[in-house]
Structure 1
């Protein structure tokens, strides 16, 4: 079980142990398995609209959640916990599982349980998605029997799910925007996959392909966005990286006009952003074309004009004029709106 101290604040020694016990007195009993001077726990808590994400690093310790703790009603949630480092042993009733790096477990906090963290003198690291019961229970055919469901690291969905934990942490951290609903949709899809593994309702099982598609395409699109200038982003490379078949990859991008079309569109969008940036005013178009993996500057210019209705040079001039007149770099949406109005006013 993971419990959250103040975000981004490490706790060490007897004072940290006392503070953690005070904060979790109604949730569980904390039992250290190190000398109090060696006790350590660090938790970082992040939020989306429909979940909490908790990243915990801790020395060897146990969390004992008794029937008396459950009766206090402080936590009536499910949590989906990924082990990243060390070892976590979890037991609830007669069900016991052991997590090692890459393993994932579903935990019902409305039932008594005991968690043991062991890392052979190091730190156990866990990431947990905490969901309200009202969100996950309706997805389960038998909600009261789902606790301690283990997805081992070699489970077909474990690697896919684990890949999204770090991404959710980045999207939910300071300075990021979760208002688009993208992180929320990812949490919903994660809940669907875990529910299916734990014995989902007929509706959840029937919709499993949809949840898989969302998680795969989100993961692949994020990889593409991060590697527009550095990788060829071919079907072969993406299939190898994500361990999926070419047919699956092509199906994922059918609605996007195909993989090659999607990658080219994203590179043109990146080129657009680069061209309206003051730092790009003196750059050569051929260098930008090469960075965007076009075979020549003429190929790049033709593709750019088809997409945006003007050449890269014309966009650069427009952005430069805007900067001189307003003293500010134009936002992408502002420029696109201007271009749309210009096209609409043409006879």
Structure 2
């Protein structure tokens, strides 16, 4: 990772460093908080990517570029998102084509594409450079009424929404770093106001129906993260801690949320990061599982294979053979993005 300012993350993958497999694995890790990356064999050798992200209060702005790859967010992954986000993408170069929600899309350079993390997606990004503005959906809901018809909506190149929001994102990336706290509030307010105006969305004139929900939901998410290593962490523990019924908890976190699945996936990711880091090379695999509340060794190994396509022992052997620089660089980016996307 390069020496970037505190509010920024940067990852650059090119053919001068590491193997194609390492570059693709690193790219997959960075994208893993929101979906799955697939690079065709014919495109693997030439695959490169560049990722820059800045956190500005309640919003995040990104500038991303890569060679051709497929990005998929399955219905199951979309349903299990712990916190929904709106993604506002402006294509600077290349093309995005595929499906978002139930809509077939094709976005050329200059187009604006809207999507949500709780929406299934299957697209091919072909030599694309794009800008992204990402806003938590619970924050968005306090300011405007989101219409389902906006999911997967593409605004044509040269349209007012595409031009205005692209200019806004470039301005956010150009701000000096770090941005003073008082100014980050201005960034969030201006982003929400411009977004609402550009999309023609109805402003919220009264309180959102779940106005207290986001705050409690964030406390629940934080509780889950802080207790991931406790093998007793489950839905019953969360309900007891916050005096919630199961139905109230699921309503708070999203009716379609699989909280038990979320806990399992976060634990598996933590164990995978431990193995990739090389810091636990002298620890038995089962001990790494126990560190993350996965106390049954056989269940841990089976779940790991299902999640990552290889056993923890196989991954460790690969690490011992030498973790590529690209994969090392992506670890911190993935961890920070995951925490931001979950509202921590």
**Greater relative contact order structure (CA < 8 Å, 6+ sep):** 2
1:163 aligns with 2:171: no
When Rg is computed on C-alpha atoms for both structures, the one with the higher figure is 1
Q: What pairs with 1:49-64 in structure 2 (closer than 5 Å)?
A: 49-64=57-72
Deviates more, 1:43-52 or 1:156-165: 156-165
Secondary structure of the equivalent of 2:182? coil
Match of 1:192 among 196, 213, 225: 196
Structure with higher helix content? 1
| Paired position in structure 2 for 1:84 | 92
- 2:39 paired with 1:32: yes
Query: 1:1-347 residue pairs with structure 2 within 5 A?
Result: 7-12=9-14, 13-25=20-32, 27-33=34-40, 34-119=42-127, 124-138=128-142, 141=145, 143-171=147-175, 174-177=177-180, 179-180=182-183, 181-196=185-200, 199-201=201-203
Query: Per-residue deviation at 1:134?
Result: 1.2
Structure 2 unaligned segments of length 5 or more: list them. 1-7, 15-19, 207-344
RMSD: 2.6
Q: What secondary structure sits across from 1:157 in the alignment?
A: helix
Which segment is superposed worse, 133-142 or 70-79?
A: 133-142
The 3 A distance-change label for structure 1 pair 137 and 115 is farther
- Using structure 1 for the length normalisation, give the TM-score: 0.50
Q: Is the 8 A contact 1:87 1:100 kept in 2?
A: yes
Q: How many residues align?
A: 192
CA distance in 2, matches of 1:179, 1:90: 40
Contact 1:108/1:146 (<8 A) preserved: no
Deviation at 1:46, TM superposition (A): 0.3
Change (3 A) 1:27 1:167: closer
Structure 1 residues 76-123: Cα deviation after superposition (integer angstroms, max 9, x where no partner): 11111111111112522331222222211211211111221113xxxx
